[in-house]
Amino acid sequence: MTGFGARLDAALDERGSLCVGIDPHPGLLAAWGLSDDAVGLGRFADTCVEAFGGLAAVVKPQSAFFETYGSAGIAVLERTVVAAQAAGALVLLDVKRGDIGSTMTAYARAYLDPASPLAADAITVSPFLGVGSLDPAFAAATEHERGLFVLAATSNPEGPQVQQAVVAGRSVAQAVVDDVGARNAGATPLGSFGVVAGATIADPPDFTALGGAVLAPGVGAQGGTADDVRRIFGASLRAVVPSVSREVLRAGPDVAALRAAVERLVADFAFLRD
């Protein structure tokens, strides 16, 4: 393997700049005519992988929607990760874990160690116990050539209360971006450590020294547009990975319709790699 950042850069060149979520919440299962149980969950996930596992650069299962079905749901998640990787997508497992010491080490082992049945190419993590609390995950990602996306400037209305607070002359969000960027120093073409920054945020941090990718949720159904992406990310556009879920998933369960929705959004954001 090569480092996650290099693999991501190659995937974005080959497949376009898009991350597509697999978010099997009960409303979508019902809309697709599926049962609200592990059987319906499995059919939903299988359809998603069939539709865009071979098309999207990054596929992002939302772990919580699988966990709600207990061990049967986790089993579906395990096979979904493997199937999406087999189809050629990089799998970003959306778990938003954040803890300290041995607990963070255990989370890193669960999601980043290739010996684990849940090992993904990258995971989302929360730095709000301090970016340094994530050191076991940074270490595991480096050892196993995996990636991390660290929450920095999220688009939920509660986020700015913490993320825009100013400490020692810079916002908390900027401090997160800077700390992650320091861990990418010298990496080319992209470092393996990115951040999460919403495509609808009002006061973005400066991403120019990040050296890694920016996952940008909020595009499409949540109101984010290509113009918003241009405004927020400016000179860092080449490193941006717009993330969509509902905008694509509401086209299901028809595989061709799901695929067409992904193809349209890939074309909409083709300018990111120009």
Q: Are 186 and 135 in contact (CB under 8 A)?
A: no
Q: Are 216 and 210 in contact (CB under 8 A)?
A: no
Q: Report which secondary-structure segment, H or E, holds 27.
A: helix 26-31
**DSSP annotation string for 211-263:** -S-EEEE-BSTTSB-HHHHHHHHGGGGGGEEEEESHHHHTTTT-HHHHHHHHH
What is d(CA 69, CA 77) in angstroms, rounded to the nearest whole number? 10
Cβ within 8 Å of residue 232, ≥6 positions away = 197, 199, 201, 204, 216
Catalytic residue among 25, 79, 96, 238: 96
Residue 60 a catalytic site member: no
Cβ within 8 Å of residue 198, ≥6 positions away = 153, 154, 155, 156, 159, 216, 217, 218, 224
Q: Are 163 and 188 in contact (CB under 8 A)?
A: no
Closest CA to 219 of 84, 17, 11: 17
**Catalytic machinery residues:** 96
